[in-house]
């Protein structure tokens, strides 16, 4: 097991937003956290990644390296694309030449071109910046990757390309990942297991293993599973029809 959260609690200004939450992430597993806005899924990811402290419970991280891909690329504007991708390696002490060589390899893997390496973030499209953010995370060869709705701001076509990049990298390198999303089709496409969170009930209210392997599920299989789950009461808040379910 790479990650274990047990009986986690968290509060903002004295108001409890997460109570008694437990989850585990196995080696090589991609788990999607899905739920409506305000259910705490990003806070859970931040607690797991050590960016936010839990107010109660325990966390076990059985790995030495992780990386985070945020909604926004968060590239440093004064650095070139290549140096942004190499940044995590340089901070960890990798010599400049080796870091830039590794960054170049990752940049090409995510679909950037050599001509993009010397560009600054302002010169890149939004999709190219997000590709660079994914490359930066992969460059440190993480054992666990945290994704906080990383493809929300890109168009549908590019979202599919970026999802494929993550699926291929996870299969190739066997890292574990916690993937936060509000898009059920994205979760079904990219994850091995799905945890559904609720704002009204609090915490995880359903868990589903997803048949097949990420990247090998057909569009039809994904569509049919999303259709099936769209009528499941556990997903009512996600689809905005919780009032109809209660009625």
* Cα–Cα dist 31/125, whole Å: 29
The residue-averaged pLDDT of 16-40 equals 88
The per-residue pLDDT for 247 is 34
Instruction: Give per-residue pLDDT as tens, 92-120.
Output: 999 999 999 999 999 999 999 999 999 99
pLDDT at 43 over 80: yes
Contact 181, 166 (CB under 8 A): no
* Cα–Cα dist 184/30, whole Å: 14
The per-residue pLDDT for 243 is 45
Query: Is CATH 3.10.129.10 what the domain over 3-64+145-246 is classified as, yes or no?
Result: no
pLDDT band for position 246 (50/70/90)? very low
Question: What string of DSSP letters covers 6-67?
Answer: EEEEEEETTEEEEEEEEEEE-TT-EEEEE--TTSSHHHHHHHHTTSS--SEEEEEE--S-EE
pLDDT at 122 over 90: yes
Instruction: Give per-residue pLDDT as tens, 151-210.
Output: 887 888 888 888 998 999 999 999 999 999 989 999 999 999 999 987 777 678 889 999
CB within 8 Å of 114: residues ≥ 6 apart:
104, 108
Q: Is 177 helix (H, G, I), strand (E, B) or coil?
A: strand
């Amino acid at each position: 097991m790479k990650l274990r959260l047990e009986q986690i609690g968290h509060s903002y200004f004295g108001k409890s937003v997460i109570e008694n939450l437990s989850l585990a992430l196995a080696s090589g597993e991609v788990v999607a956290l899905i739920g409506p806005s305000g259910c705490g899924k990003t806070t859970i990811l931040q607690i797991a990644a050590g960016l936010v402290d839990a107010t109660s419970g325990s966390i076990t991280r059985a790995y030495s390296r992780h990386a985070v891909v945020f909604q926004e690329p968060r590239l440093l504007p004064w650095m070139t694309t290549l140096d942004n991708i190499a940044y995590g390696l340089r901070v960890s002490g990798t010599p400049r030449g080796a870091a830039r060589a590794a960054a170049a390899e990752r940049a090409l893997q995510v679909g950037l071109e050599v001509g993009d390496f010397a560009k600054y973030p302002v010169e890149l499209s939004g999709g190219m910046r997000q590709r660079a953010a994914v490359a930066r995370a992969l460059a440190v060869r993480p054992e666990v990757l945290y994704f906080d709705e990383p493809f929300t701001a890109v168009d549908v076509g590019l979202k599919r390309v970026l999802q494929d990049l993550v699926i291929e990298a996870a299969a190739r390198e066997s890292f574990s990942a916690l993937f936060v999303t509000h898009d059920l089709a994205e979760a079904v496409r990219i994850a091995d297991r799905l945890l559904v969170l609720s704002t009204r009930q609090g915490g995880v209210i359903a868990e589903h293993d997803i048949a097949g392997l990420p990247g090998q599920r057909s569009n039809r299989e994904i569509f049919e599973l999303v259709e099936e789950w769209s009528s499941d009461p556990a997903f009512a808040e996600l689809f905005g029809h919780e009032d109809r379910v209660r009625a």
